[in-house]
Amino acid sequence: MIYVVGHKKPDTDSVCSAIVFAYLLNEWKKAGCKIMKVDEEAVPVIQGEPNAESKFVLEKFGISVPEIMTDGEGKKVALVDHSDKVQSLDNIDKAEIIAVVDHHKIGDVTTPNPILFVNFPVGCTATVLKFLFDKTGVAIPKDMAGLLLAAILSDTVVFKSATTTDMDKEAAEELAKIAGIDDIVNFGVEVKSKLSDVSGMSAKDIIMRDFKDYNMSGKKVGVGQVELIDLKAVENRMEEIYNELAKIKQESGYHTIVLMLTDIMKEGTELMVVTDEPKIVEITFGKKLEGKSVWLPGVMSRKKQVVPPLEKTFANL
């Protein structure tokens, strides 16, 4: 058995790409594949509960939620949407990795033998999978096309993220035709709106849902991101969220925590910051904190527009 798995804290790309790559591997097993030999059945798994957005997408296309698996010891695995050990299965060193399909920086997994390793600097793993279907002449069924399309719209924030490429847009258009989705942008906004409803969530849950730790020149820095259809969803809760950030900072010894409250429609981010050194905000983004936060037009991507410039600031502090 080959277990196909995305990263920890699965997002829609990690869930859908695991399902679709497992489907593709099984097609390759049946019909043969000119790239690699597949002798075993592939099954998708996830490392944790899917979020509300992923659940909506699976339901929409009539696909059941994959089983949860967290340990890779003794297993044959194919990784999607990551190649970093910290994001992978526990004991990934004791697993046999047979393939990696990804769109991130190259991580630190290694293999003793040559494997299929396909990584494009595009907006979504699903875009790379679309390429693999085309390249190996496998038809994409309607439900699989729907999953791939939803993953692309999710990861690229409906094509607004700085990570979006022409390849993502082309793939999405072809997939939408197969999936029978007429209005791609409208569908994308519907997908993204599922995580935008934060009304029933505690401030801590809002902050931690998509939160990553970094070591920036020896300082512990946390960067969270919440993508919202409309910033108004958190307008009345800014104080509460800020107080929670301050609490987390103190309890867990952060030098700085920034929370990106990203408005998908207005295409910008209200950046909330708690820090020992408030001047880092102006140095990094050219704008001063106005009270607890600052509006950064055009800033949508943590990995491209927030983390690298912050790292640079910390390096020169």
Chosen residue from 27, 53, 143, 155 binding Mn ion by CB under 5 A: 155
Interacting stretch for Mn ion, rule CB under 5 A, among 13-21, 133-141, 195-203, 276-284?
Answer: 13-21
- Contact between 102 and Mn ion by CB under 5 A: the answer reads no
Q: Quick one: 155 or 168, whose CB is closer to Mn ion?
A: 155
Question: Nearer to Mn ion by C-beta: 125 or 313?
Answer: 125
> CB of residue 102 vs Mn ion: minimum separation in angstroms?
8
Region from 7-15, 26-34, 160-168, 265-273 binding Mn ion, contact rule CB under 5 A: 7-15
Q: Which is nearer to Mn ion, 81 or 143 (CB)?
A: 81
The identity of residue 317, as a single letter, is L
We find the least distance from the C-beta atom of residue 152 to Mn ion, in angstroms, to be 9
Size of site (CB under 5 A) for Mn ion: 4
Minimum distance from CB of 65 to Mn ion (Å)? 18
Residue 13 touches Mn ion, criterion: CB under 5 A: yes
Q: How far apart are CA 299 and CA 279, in angstroms?
A: 19
Cβ 218 to Mn ion shortest distance, Å:
29
By C-beta, is 119 or 136 nearer to Mn ion? 119
Shortest Cβ 155–Mn ion spacing (Å) = 5
Q: How near is the Cβ of 275 to Mn ion at its closest, in Å?
A: 29
- DSSP lists the bridge partners of residue 43 as 3
Q: What is the CA 264 to chain-centroid distance, rounded?
A: 15
Complex with Mn ion: residue 116 or 289, whichever CB lies closer: 116
CB of 109 to Mn ion, least distance (A): 16
Contacts of 79 (CB under 8 A, 6+ apart): 4, 5, 6, 88, 97, 99, 100, 101, 102, 109
CB 242 within 8 Å of CB 274: yes
Name the percent of the chain in helix, strand, coil, to the closest 5. Answer: 40, 20, 35
Report the residue closest to Mn ion, judged by CB.
13
Q: Which of residues 60-89 bind Mn ion (CB under 5 A)?
A: 81
Q: Classify each residue of 289-300 as buried b or exposed e, where b means 16 or more C-beta atoms within 10 Å of its C-beta.
A: beebbbebeebb
Mark out the alpha helices in 75-217 (DSSP H runs).
125-135, 142-155, 166-179, 184-196, 203-208
Among 51-59, 87-95, 111-119, 152-160, the segment contacting Mn ion (CB under 5 A) = 152-160
In the chain, what's the furthest Cα-to-Cα distance?
Answer: 61
Q: How far apart are the first and last CA of the chain?
A: 50
Looking at residue 130, its amino acid is K
Where along the sequence are the contacts to Mn ion (CB under 5 A)? Answer: 13, 81, 125, 155
